[in-house]
Amino acid sequence: MTDRPALLIRNAQILLPDGTFLQGDVWIDGDRIHRVAPEIDATDVGEIAREIDATGLTLLPGAIDPQVHFREPGLEYKEDLRTASHACAKGGVTSFLEMPNTKPLTTTQATLQDKLDRAASKCVVNYGFFIGATAEGLPDLLTANPVCGIKIFMGSMHGDLLVDEEPVLDRLFGMGQDPDRPGHGRLIAVHAENQARIRQRREQFAGITDPAIHSQIQDNQAALEATQLALKLSRKHRRRLHILHMSTGDEAILMRQEKPAWVTCEVTPQHLLLDVGAYETIGTFAQMNPPLRSPEDCAILWQALLDGVIDFIATDHAPHTLEEKAQPYPNSPSGMPGVQTSLPLMLTQAAQGRCTVAQVMQWMSSNVARGFGIPNKGAIAPGLDADLVLVDLKTYRPVLREEMLSKCGWSPFEGWNLTGWPVYTIVGGQVAYEQGQINEAARGRALTFEPAT
């Protein structure tokens, strides 16, 4: 027990680790959950800093988003760690794992440390960072700490972070597999698209400005081929592998048949809930990598998620400004923001009967904590970190551009009527978001990661 005054959440519908709900109270002591019970007697608690009356609200573990691009340092005109973390807090995301395609690239301990320092000074939620692989395979790939994994762009990237040749990938997948050396078991996360195929199809379809062509240029085959290669190399080297933003039914079928126990994969809400029809309504704002697919692909991805073939939901939050996105294809950049809407989008699916709230929280919290070896997170139980979100599952409200806290100031889901919006978000026992207001004084912490054994 700490000597800090307690935070008490009263009368919430609490999601327990076994997927059932308890109507009751949660006592938070410092940064940890101390007790979960039908009723906590205030006289047991001692000094109480604050009580939150959660009548009518549902208490969930905070979401952990395993793939975001927050643009700092170097591209702060699109987003920065402060604005992105505010969007997280308002969306119920209490921890994020961020990608290395910033300026400079995050490829060394020094550039990683710079990001950690920046995050410590301004993030209201917890943070972790990937280190980026380059063809050189810098030594820091295995020794830099703390990192959640090594990111490899097999496609859809230019410059030093593109690693698209099989012999180089083979070498990277084989690095650090000695149990007595640093970096043993370090996770590799791949953006799986076959760059050679994309290059060739870009030439084939050159001159077409309808953004729908994007899904044909970077087609299902390009994604499938790269995922097949990553799986092959992971098996060869027994390398812990994570497939980022899986987008096609073809890959989901492959995973259902062949996924080894040490491989995980994720899908984004965009690839579940939007399809190629979105180009007609929002044009280049629907452009992302890997691209949106057919309704049949969405259906197969959904089934794979429900069946446990797909492990996590990630947003691939990739903000670009309205001006950038409004340029005609192919000058428009790929990517959409997502951290503020992912939890309500998925909870709305649960409210409409497509899945359960407990499944959503497995995909968005407990499975992510387990898959990345993040200790003490992903569930509501005594002793675990007090990263929590109180959501309102009774009210529907539309996604409004003016309520988006991401610096880019738009969402591909504008106008969608959603339930499950956060009312309070708690990060390490601090109220980071409350009824429309960010607590600018709250601070997240650097996440730690236990290597796969």
Provide the binding-site residues for ligand DOR, judged by CB under 6 A. Answer: 69, 101, 156, 191, 288-289, 316, 318, 334-335
Return the residue nearest ligand DOR (CB atom): 335
- 75 versus 351: smaller Cβ distance to ligand DOR: 75
Alpha-carbon Rg for the chain, nearest whole angstrom, is: 21
- Output the CA–CA distances (angstroms, integers) from residue 7 to 55, 58, 126, 229, 238, in the order listed: 16, 17, 19, 49, 45
Tell me the DSSP string of 46-78.
-SEEEEEE-TT-EEEEPEEEEEE---TTT-TTT
Instruction: Please state the closest distance from residue 308 (CB atom) to ligand DOR, in A.
Output: 25
- 149 versus 335: smaller Cβ distance to ligand DOR: 335
Instruction: Please state the closest distance from residue 23 (CB atom) to ligand DOR, in A.
Output: 41
Decide: residue 272, CB within 10 A, 0-12 exposed, 13-18 middle, 19+ buried.
Answer: buried
The strand pairing partners of 129, in sequence order, are 98
8: nearest Cα among 390, 358, 399 = 390
Catalytic residue among 25, 275, 316, 387: 316
Instruction: Please state the closest distance from residue 316 (CB atom) to ligand DOR, in A.
Output: 6
Orientation of helix 195-204 relative to helix 220-237, angle to 10°: 170
Instruction: Please state the closest distance from residue 315 (CB atom) to ligand DOR, in A.
Output: 11
Instruction: Please state the closest distance from residue 121 (CB atom) to ligand DOR, in A.
Output: 23
- In contact, 189 and 129? CB cutoff 8 Å: no
- 59 versus 339: smaller Cβ distance to ligand DOR: 339
- Output the CA–CA distances (angstroms, integers) from residue 323 to 79, 289, 445, in the order listed: 14, 19, 34
* Residues 6+ away with beta carbon under 8 Å from 287: 211, 214, 279, 325, 329, 332, 333, 334, 335
Instruction: Please state the closest distance from residue 104 (CB atom) to ligand DOR, in A.
Output: 15
Instruction: Please state the closest distance from residue 126 (CB atom) to ligand DOR, in A.
Output: 21
- 132 versus 335: smaller Cβ distance to ligand DOR: 335
* Residues 6+ away with beta carbon under 8 Å from 418: 341, 344, 345, 347, 348, 396, 397, 398, 399
How far is it, in rounded angstroms, from Cα 323 to Cα 411? 14
Instruction: Please state the closest distance from residue 114 (CB atom) to ligand DOR, in A.
Output: 18
Instruction: Please state the closest distance from residue 357 (CB atom) to ligand DOR, in A.
Output: 28
How far is it, in rounded angstroms, from Cα 423 to Cα 146? 31
- 286 versus 423: smaller Cβ distance to ligand DOR: 286
Helices (H), 307-361: 322-325, 342-351, 357-361
- 13 versus 67: smaller Cβ distance to ligand DOR: 67
- 240 versus 271: smaller Cβ distance to ligand DOR: 271
For residue 197, the SS3 value is helix
Amino acid identity at 354: R
Instruction: State the DSSP code for 436.
Output: T
- 115 versus 191: smaller Cβ distance to ligand DOR: 191
Q: What backbone phi and psi angles, to 5 degrees, belong to 36?
A: -125, 120
Q: What per-residue string of b and e applies to 237-252 under the rule 16 or more CB within 10 Å gives b?
A: bebbbbbbbbbbbbbb
Decide: residue 401, CB within 10 A, 0-12 exposed, 13-18 middle, 19+ buried.
Answer: exposed
Annotated active-site residue 178? The verdict is no
- 244 versus 438: smaller Cβ distance to ligand DOR: 244
How far is it, in rounded angstroms, from Cα 302 to Cα 274? 12
Q: Which residues are catalytic?
A: 316
